Structures are given as structure tokens and as C-alpha cells.
Chains A and B, each alone.
Chain A
């Protein structure tokens, strides 16, 4: 007797919620990026679960593309964090208001 697909989806939803809570409450841009990673991976898990449920590999292809997008996002995000740190500015997302009107 195997656990059904709904359990995988539930775990994915819980992980997504945890990541969402992190994005909403944390202030360090580094932790924000980590939380976004959790959310992206939760989506990946849902994609792979449904791919298995439907017996079709397209969901896995999509998950691989999501992985590539996440890697790009991390590169640019960490580049921004390093650039902000170089300018001796506060690493605090509430204080990065230079582009706000």
C-alpha cells in the first residue's frame, strides 16, 4: 500500500506556506532568496507529483526548466546582494528604498 499523490501535494503546499511566511517576515535579502527557493521547490514537487499521477514526463521537463530559472534568479539575486553590500548600505529589504517614489 503506497501513499497517494495527495500526500505529496500536501507536503508541497506546506513547504510553499513556510516559504511564503519567510518571504513575508524576514528582512535579510539572503534569507528572502532562500525562502523563494523553498517556494520554487514546493512547486517543483507538485509538478513532479502530477507528472507521476498522469504517467507523462512533461511535468518533469517543466520542473527542470524551473530549476534553471531558479538558478538564474539566485545568480542575479546574490549579485544584487553583493553589490548592495559593496556600497556599504544596510542589508535590510525595508531600507532599500532608493527606487521608491
Chain B
């Protein structure tokens, strides 16, 4: 009985939060609603006896990923708002139809089956040990691939978000000039620059005095 009540509450929270994310005009409210949605999903995972996944969901998603979203929303300020341009009615109708079709297909397709509750499993079903045994055994390649993917994403994020000199409009011919490698100064020119600077700093005088000093 408690199980059913928790399920119903979590469903209502998850669906209401998802609707708020999609329909709200304020990106902050959208981000915060997604946190509620993710925590409701963690509740589902607990109901499905996937304890470790529920913990990972709260820590990784509701914690780390959403904080990133909130930071970017705050950084963008008002520019993150939805453009106020009118959207054509047919677009909304088509989106509604497509989303309703996919949802109805799955709900009716699944609802006709007589799914039961699955086998009775022990409390260790979703324990970290069980997940780790699979991750480091049968799915080791996926595990390593995931780590490489995360590394690439981290590097990509840094490259994309680094401030570049002289931002120009993307349509201008020189917009991607900053992406070309800078010419490496030759040793000779470096040395000559060094000498010039040395002369200017230490003699502090015109070319006539330079001869006298030398």
C-alpha cells in the first residue's frame, strides 16, 4: 500500500515537474523543476530496488549536472530567456500530435501486456557490489569507453567555452582566424626582439649613444 502511494506521488511530481520544464518561460524555473523531476526518478529507482542507481542519480544528476545548468543560466542572465517571436500554430499542433502518438503507442502497447512484478530479488539486487561486478567483468569495455568519453567531453567543454581574442560575427570572413595556429617565432627574431628590448631598456637613448656604449 505504501509502495503504491509512493509511486503515485512520485509519478505526479515527475510529470508535473517535466511539464513545468517544458512550458515555463523562465529558464531558472525550468532548471529547478528538472531537479525535482530527477529526484522523483530517483524515487522510482528506489521502488525498483536499484539503490546504487538512485544514489548516483541524486549525486551525479541532481547534484553535478544541474549545478552546471544553473551556473550557465545565471551567466547568461536574461539572454537565456525564450525568444518572444510568435511560433506558428501548426508547429505546436504537430509537436503535440507527435509526442502524443509516441506516448500513446507505448502506453497502450505496454498496458495490454500482463506484466507482473518480476521475480522476487534479494536486497542486494541494486547494491554497488552487483553493479561493480558487471562493470568490471562483462562490461569492462563499456566502462573504459565511458571514461574516455568523459575525458573527451571535459576537454571539449574547456575548448568550447574558452574566451578567444576578438570575437567576430560568425558570417565574417575572418571569424575563424583564431582557430589557426599562431606562427611560431624563429629563434633569430626572438633573439633580435630581445636585443631591441635590451637596448631600449638599458641605454634608454637614441642610436647615437648606442654606438658610444658599444
Contact = CB atoms under 8 A, between A and B. Distances in A.
Interface in A2-23: 2-22
Contacts, number: 259
- Majority SS of interface residues in chain B? helix
- Majority SS of interface residues in chain A? helix
Nearest to B76: A85
B191 interface: no
A52 to B, nearest CB: 4
B202 interface: no
A92 B83 contact: yes
B7 A3 contact: yes
Interface residues of A, number: 77
Interface in B17-71: 18-19, 21-22, 27, 30-31, 34, 37-38, 41, 44-45, 47-50, 52-53, 56-57, 60-61, 64-65, 68-69
Contacts of A81: 72, 76
Interface in B124-176: 125-126, 130-131, 134-135, 138-139, 142, 146, 149-150, 152-154, 156-161, 163-164, 167-171
Contacts of B1: 1
Contacts of A49: 48
A25 B103 contact: no
B67 to A, nearest CB: 11
B142 A13 contact: no
Interface of B: 1, 3-4, 7, 11, 14-15, 18-19, 21-22, 27, 30-31, 34, 37-38, 41, 44-45, 47-50, 52-53, 56-57, 60-61, 64-65, 68-69, 72-73, 75-76, 79-83, 85, 87, 91-92, 94-96, 98-100, 102-103, 105-107, 110-111, 113, 115-119, 121, 125-126, 130-131, 134-135, 138-139, 142, 146, 149-150, 152-154, 156-161, 163-164, 167-171
